[in-house]
Amino acid sequence: MLIFIDTEFSDFVDTHLISIGMVSASGHEFYAELPIAFDVSDFVRETVLPQLGKNPEALCSREELTKRIRRFLEQFGAEPVHILCDDFVDYVLFAEALGGDVPANIVYVRIFERLDFSKVEAFFVENRLQRHHALNDAKANKAGYTYP
């Protein structure tokens, strides 16, 4: 199974997860947000934070996030699950969200070089979605992914 993921986080220096979005190749979606109890960059304050809180059910504690991600992954059984990210920081934050205990069937795949950015851009325009929202970005990466 292929799962496209994206995260939003505080900044590149003192990195704290803010939100995570996942979409499988078959269309299953996952989205969650964490409470923000840390400093964020100006970019995050201006671009990411205004997009949060639209779905109150998305907000959860760190412990609940771990449980939710595990439940989401369980639907794919023991088959290999390829976690496709455009940047390694997304995978690091995904692994941290799992408490550092990544299931054995999880395989990290960096896809930056396999993205057709004209298709990524078209996805945002056609769907009238904003960038820098974890689920929107995961969906856009799925739309722009060039399969081997």
- List the chain pLDDT tens, one digit each, 148 residues: 999 999 999 999 999 999 999 999 999 999 999 999 999 999 999 999 999 999 999 999 999 999 999 999 999 999 999 999 999 999 999 999 999 999 999 999 999 999 999 999 999 999 999 999 999 999 999 999 998 8
pTM: 0.96
Q: What ranges make up the beta strands (E) of 2-123?
A: 2-9, 17-24, 29-33, 81-85, 106-110
N-terminal to C-terminal alpha carbon distance within the chain: 14
Q: Considering the domain 2-144 in this protein, what is its CATH number?
A: 3.30.420.10
CB contact at 8 A, 111 and 85: yes
Instruction: Give CA–CA dist 145/22, Å, rounded.
Output: 14
- Domain extents in the chain: 2-144
| Interacting residues of 7 by C-beta distance below 8 A, sequence separation 6+ | 17, 18, 19, 20, 21, 89, 90, 93, 94, 134
